[in-house]
Chains A and B, each alone.
Chain A
Amino acid sequence: MTKTKNILRLETVSKIYRMDGVSVKALDNVSLAIMEGEFVSIIGPSGSGKSTLMHIVGCLDTPTSGKVLLDDQEISQMTERQLAQVRNKKIGFVFQQFNLLPRTSALDNVSLPLLYNGTTSSQIAKKAAEVLGKVGLGERLDHHPNQLSGGQQQRVAIARALITDPSIIIADEPTGNLDSKSGVEVMEIFKKLHQQGRTVILVTHDDNIANKAQRIIRLKDGKVIN
């Protein structure tokens, strides 16, 4: 693993939304690079464009102009179908609201991404149990989200992000819905993942959380300000 390799590069990326005939520039000529194995946090107040940046980095959206290179692959011109496949392979999402399927076991929730890439059922079950073990939920494979605490639910979500062995893990306010103790536990998991060599991008508005990262990218009014 070469520590110098850029896993993600944005070159003069702009995103303009049109709402009721008014153009809103959510991202304004943003250029940045994130290296493999880095632990980066993106911080900014609401309206700063950090959600838009996260969507573009997470291949959920394409920029109005500029280039996005993920693992040396240009994604800004991809179709929705291609983007879905890139997300499946290279991105692991952790959301503020966990976004677990209700009335569905932890094991099945974690299995979700593998259902979309042709993995066989037996492999899926094996892998899902393995990643749940890694986040300390090896004993709760059959539990449904409503039988788990907030911290445990978020750990299921982290296991789901890890199961495809993605290039980047993107966490959007991962501690926003957690009590402080669970928040600390979840941050510990991200730290450990970083130590294992994973690239983690943390999107937050909370300085205390952002400070846990190696590097902080500050956004304001659609621009990087540091």
Chain B
Amino acid sequence: MQLKQLIRIATKSLIVNRSRSFLTALGVIIGVAAVILLVSVGSGLKDYITGQMQDMGSNLIMVVPGDIDIEQTGASGGAASGAFSSIAASKLELRDAEEIERSLPQIKDTAAVVMAPGLASYKSETVSGQIIGTTQNYINIRSSEFETGSFFTQSEVNSGRKVTILGHTVAHELFGNQNPVGEKIKVGDYRYLVMGVMKEQGGQGSLTSDDKIFVPITTAQRQFGLDNISIIFTQVSSSDEVASAVPLIEAVMLKRHDEEDFTVIDQKEILSTVSSILDTLTIALGGIAAISLLVGGIGIMNIMLVSVTERTREIGLRKALGATPEVILTQFLIEAVFLSVGGGIIGILLGSGGALLLNNFIPMTVTAWSIILAFVVSAGVGIIFGIAPARRASLLSPIAALRYE
């Protein structure tokens, strides 16, 4: 008895009962598609967030006020955004940034940042945004590009000019299609000359420039009373220097502050914490979806058991015509495995297709491991849940089976 013939028999009987075969496979189709979709959501989120963080610029080391222990707080996303927005009791000063840049040759650039929510208005339009006060080097550190115009210069920072660069959303809500460069907008109580508009970045919160209103840090401190530096960005030339630069920055800071009321965070550290959290999330999502795969497997067993009863005469006939118990067992096992693997393949196509489609709305990344895992598990489900019905079929007595009405 050749396996090829058995596969032919099994496929024929699946095709003959095509609608039942499809409905049986549906459980596995949905299960596999769910696993792939949910894993894609998890890994898409991870790729999105890590991508956003890398968009902040490369080889970054950040100094934030307050003594934050990233490892312990765990949710580093929360810790980071807390650091970005909180006006902590402890203070960072513009001088800190200057001192770091001056005393450490490996530091390429530094940019201190103050921030506060604020309103910007032009003619009758008013939008709310985030006012960012910073120095000219900010634009070198954060890899942001301009739609039009340019960033302010050192002399504008030094003299505290009322100039501003707008994030994409702010510019478009205020000006529509008009070119804002050269126009004056009102931020707070004073008028500011618009020097440039940033390219659209997408994303949310502190990671995007879209809703920001950039002004020189000196201006921000004077006009808005933003004395507390929220964060100091520093950048080293290569990623190899990050690890060695962190303790040096800490030493410089400690010399200026008497106690450790600041935290030096390197970008990689945040990245790895964020990815490990999102990996856990992905596995949890995949695990939940895997339960539906199990249900799909039970569905296959159920239908195969019904099918064995319904096809008792057929089994009796096949045995009378010379099918051995092993052959019947193999035939029904192949049917079950084909149902689950076929369902698995359709589920993989649907899940990946759905993920690619949904990618237009939320970040999704289809991962190879989820496809392989879904395929292997669905094949396994077919074997495990196919054995009981196949055994029952193989043990039927041909005489009783032929008489069965």
Q: How far is A121 from B11 in the complex, measured between Cα atoms in Å?
A: 15
Tell yes or no: B5 within 8 A of A by CB.
Answer: yes
Tell yes or no: A184 within 8 A of B by CB.
Answer: no
Tell yes or no: A126 within 8 A of B by CB.
Answer: no
- For B314, the chain A residues whose CB sits under 8 A away are 101
Are A88 and B321 in contact, with the CB atoms below 8 A? yes
Q: How far is A117 from B318 in the complex, measured between Cα atoms in Å?
A: 12
Q: How far is A164 from B321 in the complex, measured between Cα atoms in Å?
A: 10
Are B322 and A116 in contact, with the CB atoms below 8 A? yes
Q: How far is A84 from B399 in the complex, measured between Cα atoms in Å?
A: 12
- For A93, the chain B residues whose CB sits under 8 A away are 320-321
Cβ-closest chain A residue relative to B323 = A116
- Distance in Å from the Cβ of B19 to the closest Cβ of chain A? 12
Tell yes or no: B87 within 8 A of A by CB.
Answer: no
Cβ-closest chain B residue relative to A84 = B324
Are B313 and A89 in contact, with the CB atoms below 8 A? no
Q: How far is A108 from B9 in the complex, measured between Cα atoms in Å?
A: 10
Tell yes or no: B380 within 8 A of A by CB.
Answer: no
Q: How far is A113 from B319 in the complex, measured between Cα atoms in Å?
A: 10
Are A116 and B317 in contact, with the CB atoms below 8 A? no
Tell yes or no: A103 within 8 A of B by CB.
Answer: yes
Tell yes or no: A60 within 8 A of B by CB.
Answer: yes
Q: How far is A65 from B158 in the complex, measured between Cα atoms in Å?
A: 114
- For B12, the chain A residues whose CB sits under 8 A away are 104, 108
Encode contact with A along B1-33: 1 for CB under 8 Å, 0 otherwise.
110010011001000100000000000000000
Tell yes or no: B327 within 8 A of A by CB.
Answer: yes
State how many residues of chain B have any CB contact under 8 Å with chain A: 24
Cβ-closest chain B residue relative to A144 = B16
Tell yes or no: B346 within 8 A of A by CB.
Answer: no
Contact of A116 among B1, B16, B316, B398 (CB under 8 A): B1
Using A95-B402, A99-B313 as known contacts, say yes or no to A81 and B326 having CB atoms under 8 A apart.
Answer: yes
Please indicate which of the listed interface residues A93, A112, A116 has the most CB atoms of chain B within 10 Å of its own CB.
Answer: A116
Q: How far is A160 from B322 in the complex, measured between Cα atoms in Å?
A: 12
Are B326 and A103 in contact, with the CB atoms below 8 A? no
Using A81-B325, A85-B322, A104-B16 as known contacts, say yes or no to A115 and B317 having CB atoms under 8 A apart.
Answer: no
Contact of A60 among B16, B318, B327, B399 (CB under 8 A): B399
Using A99-B313, A118-B2 as known contacts, say yes or no to A61 and B325 having CB atoms under 8 A apart.
Answer: no
- Distance in Å from the Cβ of B321 to the closest Cβ of chain A? 5
State how many residues of chain A have any CB contact under 8 Å with chain B: 28
Q: How far is A98 from B260 in the complex, measured between Cα atoms in Å?
A: 93
Encode contact with B along A79-108: 1 for CB under 8 Å, 0 otherwise.
011001101110001010001011110001
Q: How far is A55 from B322 in the complex, measured between Cα atoms in Å?
A: 14
Cβ-closest chain B residue relative to A170 = B320
Are B320 and A60 in contact, with the CB atoms below 8 A? yes
- For B16, the chain A residues whose CB sits under 8 A away are 101-104
Tell yes or no: A58 within 8 A of B by CB.
Answer: yes
- Distance in Å from the Cβ of A86 to the closest Cβ of chain B? 8
Are A112 and B318 in contact, with the CB atoms below 8 A? yes
Interface residues of B in 297-350 (CB under 8 A from A): 313-314, 316-327
Please indicate which of the listed interface residues A58, A87, A108 has the most CB atoms of chain B within 10 Å of its own CB.
Answer: A87
Are A81 and B324 in contact, with the CB atoms below 8 A? yes
- For B316, the chain A residues whose CB sits under 8 A away are 99
- Distance in Å from the Cβ of B96 to the closest Cβ of chain A? 82
Are A101 and B317 in contact, with the CB atoms below 8 A? yes
Are A89 and B322 in contact, with the CB atoms below 8 A? yes
Q: How far is A92 from B380 in the complex, measured between Cα atoms in Å?
A: 39
Cβ-closest chain A residue relative to B327 = A116
Are A113 and B322 in contact, with the CB atoms below 8 A? yes
Encode contact with B along A146-167: 1 for CB under 8 Å, 0 otherwise.
0000000000000010001000
- Distance in Å from the Cβ of B46 to the closest Cβ of chain A? 50
Are A115 and B5 in contact, with the CB atoms below 8 A? yes
Interface residues of A in 15-46 (CB under 8 A from B): none
- For B319, the chain A residues whose CB sits under 8 A away are 84
Are B323 and A84 in contact, with the CB atoms below 8 A? yes
Please indicate which of the listed interface residues B313, B316, B398 has the most CB atoms of chain A within 10 Å of its own CB.
Answer: B398
Q: How far is A61 from B9 in the complex, measured between Cα atoms in Å?
A: 25
- Distance in Å from the Cβ of B5 to the closest Cβ of chain A? 5
- For A58, the chain B residues whose CB sits under 8 A away are 320
Are A87 and B322 in contact, with the CB atoms below 8 A? yes
Are A87 and B326 in contact, with the CB atoms below 8 A? no
Cβ-closest chain A residue relative to B18 = A103
- For A160, the chain B residues whose CB sits under 8 A away are 321
Are B313 and A88 in contact, with the CB atoms below 8 A? no
Q: How far is A93 from B323 in the complex, measured between Cα atoms in Å?
A: 14
Encode contact with B along A53-81: 1 for CB under 8 Å, 0 otherwise.
00100101100000000000000000011
- For B323, the chain A residues whose CB sits under 8 A away are 84, 116
Cβ-closest chain A residue relative to B325 = A80
What are 13 A-B pairs at a CB distance below 8 A? A58-B320, A81-B326, A84-B319, A84-B325, A87-B322, A88-B321, A93-B320, A93-B321, A99-B317, A101-B314, A113-B322, A116-B318, A116-B323
Chain A residues with a Cβ under 8 A of chain B: 55, 58, 60-61, 80-81, 84-85, 87-89, 93, 95, 99, 101-104, 108, 112-113, 115-118, 121, 160, 164
Q: Which 8 interchain pairs have the tightest Cβ spacing? A: A88-B322, A116-B322, A84-B324, A113-B321, A81-B324, A103-B16, A99-B317, A115-B5
11 more A-B contacts (CB under 8 A) besides A80-B324, A81-B326? A55-B399, A81-B325, A84-B325, A93-B321, A103-B16, A104-B16, A112-B321, A113-B321, A113-B322, A116-B318, A117-B1
